[in-house]
Copies of this chain bind each other. A is one copy, B any other.
Amino acid sequence: MDPHLLRTFVTVARLRSFSAAAGELGYTQSAISQQIAALESDLGLPLLSRRPVEPTPAGERLLEHAGPLLLRLRAARADVLRAAAPPAYRLRLAATPLALNATLAGRLARARAAQPRLEVTVLGCGREDVAALVASGEAEIGLADGVAAPSDPLRLPESGPLTVVGVAEEELVVALPPGHPLAGRPGLRLADLVDARWLQTTLCPLERLRALQGEGFPAALDHRGDDVQTVLNLVRAGHGLTLLPAPLLPATLPATLLPATLPTALPTALPGAPLSAGPLPAAPGASGACGVPLLTPRLVHRVEMLHGALPPGPAADLARTLEAREQA
């Protein structure tokens, strides 16, 4: 079970061709053939059917393991090298679309003001990629967002011993089209909305709601993608409901009423965050869609930061700044 052979195996299975895999990996076709033969004789099983080249059932099992295995291997290497790397002034931040919100963007600005030499790259990616990018060393720090009960951790796919810290929690609102009968309510209960039409989005997968609340939540429209404006437009046009972080939507009530109706202050609305980039105090141009606070169950839009061993220096400083002092 040499990782080398494993890599060859997944390449052959992906390309469904020995010769093509040979080309991609820079070997001769003969070498590929021998490697696959070695793997099969090691396990004592055929892993690929030839002509056409397709994984056997046993090969399918192996494929399921091979990906995470090779990822962890890269992660181990990256982590060890990171532990002994000199302080770097380049920092790559892997972030899901809603993770880098106003609060965190502000903290990032603060960190850059304190450390002008720091070059920051933000890599937008999906929720399932963040951990992989950080673990394999393609990003120093990851930010992932999701829906969770307050102070409950998100469940991100594991890919090694990464440090995971919650860095922000924002109130969640139900996004409604402007004329919706519920739009005037001071708050809503998720249980009352199990039969409503819902959008299936990557930001708020219905699977997650069903796990939290029970069956229901029929999918009215399935949106694959991560563009918030598109989702807002779909809501506005009445395609269905979805949950979004409160700062993205204007409240339907006069602002003076809101603080009293909300059960607790938002944990992220702490003092001491004088952002150099404005914190967008009013909602951006949602033009129509409006949000009603979700009262029960208590759910929040949570952002977690993940990173491996950071060398002391700007990267570690930034991590500390992003973390801010949530517990103090």
A interface: dominant SS = helix
Oligomeric state, in copies? 2
CB distance from A82 to the nearest CB of B (A): 8
Give which listed residue, B58, B84, B161, contacts A84 with CB less than 8 A.
Answer: B58
Contact B45 A62 (CB under 8 A): no
Question: A57 in the interface, Cβ–Cβ < 8 Å?
Answer: yes
Write out, one digit per residue, whether chain A residues 1-30 have a CB within 8 A of any chain B CB (1) or not (0). Answer: 111000000000000000000000000000
Would you list which residues of chain A between 41 and 95 have a CB under 8 Å from chain B? 43-45, 47, 57-58, 61-62, 64-66, 68-69, 72-73, 75-77, 79-81, 83-84
Question: A119 in the interface, Cβ–Cβ < 8 Å?
Answer: no
Give which listed residue, B3, B58, B65, B84, contacts A2 with CB less than 8 A.
Answer: B3
Contact B61 A83 (CB under 8 A): yes
Contact A2 B1 (CB under 8 A): no
Tell me the complex Cα distance, A147–B50, Å: 49
Question: A158 in the interface, Cβ–Cβ < 8 Å?
Answer: yes
Known contacts: A1-B3, A3-B3, A80-B45. The answer to whether A65 contacts B58 by CB under 8 A is: no
Question: A275 in the interface, Cβ–Cβ < 8 Å?
Answer: no
Known contacts: A68-B72, A75-B65. The answer to whether A57 contacts B81 by CB under 8 A is: no
Enumerate chain B residues within 8 angstroms of A77, measured Cβ to Cβ.
1, 43
CB distance from A293 to the nearest CB of B (A): 23
CB distance from A56 to the nearest CB of B (A): 8
Contact B161 A45 (CB under 8 A): no
Contact B3 A80 (CB under 8 A): no
Enumerate chain B residues within 8 angstroms of A57, measured Cβ to Cβ.
83-84
Tell me the complex Cα distance, A143–B161, Å: 25
Enumerate chain B residues within 8 angstroms of A45, measured Cβ to Cβ.
80-81, 84
Write out, one digit per residue, whether chain A residues 228-261 have a CB within 8 A of any chain B CB (1) or not (0). Answer: 0000000000000000000000000000000000
Tell me the complex Cα distance, A173–B81, Å: 49
Give which listed residue, B69, B75, B81, B161, contacts A43 with CB less than 8 A.
Answer: B81
Enumerate chain B residues within 8 angstroms of A3, measured Cβ to Cβ.
1-3
Tell me the complex Cα distance, A57–B312, Å: 14
Contact B69 A73 (CB under 8 A): yes
Question: A186 in the interface, Cβ–Cβ < 8 Å?
Answer: no
Would you list which residues of chain A between 99 and 128 have a CB under 8 Å from chain B? none
Tell me the complex Cα distance, A72–B61, Å: 13
Known contacts: A2-B2, A84-B45. The answer to whether A72 contacts B69 by CB under 8 A is: yes
CB pairs A–B below 8 angstroms (13 shown): A1-B3, A1-B77, A43-B77, A43-B80, A45-B84, A61-B83, A62-B76, A62-B80, A64-B161, A65-B79, A65-B80, A68-B160, A69-B76
In the A-B complex, the 10 residue pairs with the closest CB atoms: A65-B76, A61-B83, A58-B84, A61-B80, A158-B158, A62-B80, A64-B161, A58-B83, A58-B80, A45-B84
Given contacts A1-B3, A72-B72, 11 further A-B contacts (CB under 8 A): A3-B3, A43-B77, A43-B80, A43-B81, A44-B81, A62-B76, A65-B75, A65-B160, A65-B161, A69-B69, A69-B76
